Amino acid sequence: MAVILLRDSADPSTFQEAVWGRVFNHRRDVSRVPFAFCAARSVSDVVAAVSLAKSRGCRVSVRSGGHSWAGWSVRSDAVLIDLGDLDLTSEIIPVPETKDGGRGGGRGRTVYDEATKIVSCPPSCTGRILNAYLKERGRMFAGGHCPDVGLGGFLLQGGMGWNCKNWGWACESVSSVDVVTADAKVVHCSAVENADLFWAARGSGPGFPGVVVRFHLMTRPLLQMYQSLYFYPITEFKKVLAWEISVAPTADKDTEIVGVSAYTPVPGKDEKELTIMASFLTFKSTREEAELPLKGIHDDPQRPKGAVLEIFAQETSLDNEYYLQASSNPEQHRYCAENAYIVDDGSVDVPAVLEESFSTLPTKKSFALWFSMSPTSKRPIPSPGPTGHYGGGSMALSMQSDHYFALYTVWDKPEDDKRCMSWTHERMKTVERHAVGSYLGDADFQYRRTRFWSTEAGEELMKIRRKWDPEGRICGYLDDGDKSGVDGLANKFEWLALDNK
């Protein structure tokens, strides 16, 4: 049975810990106080919590992993539904027959169907937990790089998972979802059943007009992993990034390419130094298969000289990569993240636009990232057809370019909040002038308004939100003042509007 705490009757410290305890970012706006907290253990608990909100005239907020940088799950006067313990019971989700031929339910936290290769799991399941389960079955799911990110928020916003540049968005591997709607009904959604809601589930982010209680995901074969790493002084940033950009379009289809600026240990030196790291991570069946593309990159005559450290075709694993990612995203710290998709039509000198952001990190724990997205970014994403037709691979996710850029500013003292946040927002003021839009996952709508979808997809998404949640029961997008309601986000460049005043 669900644990439900009411703000006005619960012990204040117990309520505070329930509301904020699983929020990863320790930079928290504690002025936002929910009306109630519900630790849901079953789908029936979620239905009851939505019904409670409806009867009290409250909104509903949802938490899967608690990794939202902006703490989207904590909203004033809302019923906060925490899904961390969902499906610990043996209850069967009450949608056993589905039009798509799949199973609309399942016992326990995670269920794998050997025949279809589809795994079913609750939204609080993390990539690390899911892949530990799938490893025993010789399968994997290309979830988030950070190990403790819940699949709920990750998949709803699109999911920039392992080797996204080649394998595509993680949400493209969602075959169906089970949802508790804003009016407390349980429905199954797929390409053939409640197709508009399924369309929205792949790219709407926190504006999804319901509570996803189970994902059904297509898995892929588990492969070996090998990685080449090249570390350079930050003074070589433009050369290194230009080289990675030149390599990316013709690189091997199983190789992920990333550039990261961070303070790292340098051989022979006591202090960490700011470096630019070029990473090439490939997924193959054997070492021989992996070394071939990595050798081509290593021997590329355009590869910059002067690396302070080179590592060629080092064997790694998801477990190891999760450990390294967790080290880069330490717990009990304060975070401010922002991002942009940089214009990729050749009109922008990408290394020049990003140089200041990569070379002036405000703390030793902060880092900047460039993630190659081509050729995934070159595939056109179909817009929804006439009303009721959402096939052909269309999905709400529709913002992309060859170059994904993100800043992750990390610090541990409250007195550094203003300095670190100001640095992040000032860098973005320059970068966003050269962007086509941004990714929902690493954004904070309270501070910056921009484009997150194509014009057509953005308009369609807001229509679907109004259809399924006309009263604005689900909290949606946390903008400045938390007032977007059923209108959602404007999906426009704020800086452009300011320039035109």
Per DSSP (E only), the strands in 126-242 are 139-140, 174-181, 186-189, 210-218, 220-221, 224-233
Give the C-alpha separation, 157 to 433, whole Å. 23
Show the DSSP H helices in 329-450 as ranges: 350-359, 417-431
The pLDDT, as a whole number, for residue 267 is 79
Distance separating the N- and C-terminal Cα atoms of the chain:
55
Closest CA to 65 of 150, 191, 164: 150
Structure tokens at 94: 């009450």
- Given CATH 3.30.465.10, say whether it is the number of domain 111-221: yes
Cβ distance 120 to 214 under 8 Å?
yes
Structure tokens at 440: 């929902």
Which residues neighbour 330 within 8 Å (Cβ) at sequence distance 6 or greater? Answer: 365, 410
Backbone angles phi, psi at 222, to 5 degrees: -75, 125
> Using alpha carbons only, what angle is made at residue 160 by residues 482 and 219, rounded to the nearest 5 degrees?
120
For the chain, the average pLDDT equals 93
Span 3-82: which CATH code?
3.30.43.10
Q: For the chain, give every domain's residue range.
A: 3-82, 111-221, 224-442, 456-490
The pLDDT, as a whole number, for residue 105 is 39
Give the C-alpha separation, 307 to 315, whole Å. 20
> For the residues of 403-425, what is the DSSP string, one character each?
EEEEEEEEES-GGGHHHHHHHHH
- Tens digits of per-residue pLDDT, 89-114? 544 444 434 454 443 333 358 999 99
Omega into 351 within 30° of 0, i.e. cis? no
Model pTM score: 0.94
- Mean pLDDT for each 10-residue chunk of the chain (501 residues)? 89 97 96 97 95 96 95 97 80 44 51 95 94 95 94 96 96 96 96 94 97 97 98 98 96 97 86 95 97 97 96 97 95 97 97 98 98 94 70 89 98 98 96 97 94 95 96 96 93 82 60
Q: What is the CA radius of gyration of the chain?
A: 22
The pLDDT, as a whole number, for residue 385 is 61
Give the C-alpha separation, 151 to 2, whole Å. 21
Backbone angles phi, psi at 424, to 5 degrees: -60, -50
The pLDDT, as a whole number, for residue 96 is 39
Which residues neighbour 357 within 8 Å (Cβ) at sequence distance 6 or greater? Answer: 368, 405, 407, 427, 431
100: left (phi over 0), alpha (psi -120 to 50) or beta: alpha
- Let me know if 414 is exposed, middle or buried by CB neighbors in 10 A (0-12, 13-18, 19+): exposed
| Percent with pLDDT over 90 in the chain | 89
- Tens digits of per-residue pLDDT, 113-155? 999 999 999 999 999 999 999 999 999 999 999 999 999 999 9
Give the C-alpha separation, 474 to 152, whole Å. 15
Q: How many CA atoms lie within 13 A of 442 on its CB side?
A: 23
CATH class, 224-442 region = alpha beta
Q: How many CA atoms lie within 13 A of 188 on its CB side?
A: 22
